[in-house]
Amino acid sequence: MVFRQNYLENRFVNIRLAICLNEKELIGLLYILNIDYINRNAEFSIWIGNSIDRRKGYGEFGCKAALNHAFNNINLNKIYLKVLETNKAAISLYKKLGFKIDGISRESLFKNGSYHNVLEMSILKSEF
């Protein structure tokens, strides 16, 4: 019940979208989070669950639809994200969509026994 209440209280500033192959097969999720309606920006995230569903264009298609919604329906000006510097596939996708690297947060994530750099990227409405 707590999860449902939290979701209902935050759905104005967080949008969760499903990537489905058909009506019954969920393969991933897209998130537009922490929507700031005054400054017109939000955080972006994507997750494709099964590795066999990656690199097939589903993520790109979903990202384009989500970004279109963010920029043209919600009227945001900037979408930003964070991605591991070692996640070359994600970085390639984000660059293909028009995201630019804003900076690097050095050794800011501890994973699998070592520290990793995190890239901060963003795209503006005028770049989409």
pLDDT at position 113 over 90: yes
CATH of the domain at 47: 3.40.630.30
Active-site residue flag, 31? no
Nearest to 67 by CA among 53, 81, 57: 81
Q: Which of 31, 37, 58, 94 is catalytic?
A: 94
**Cβ 82 vs Cβ 99: under 8 Å:** no
pTM (2 decimals)? 0.86
Q: What SS3 class is residue 75?
A: coil
Domain housing 59:
2-127
pLDDT tens, 13-62? 899 998 888 888 888 999 999 999 999 999 999 998 878 778 888 889 99
Number of folded domains that form the chain: 1
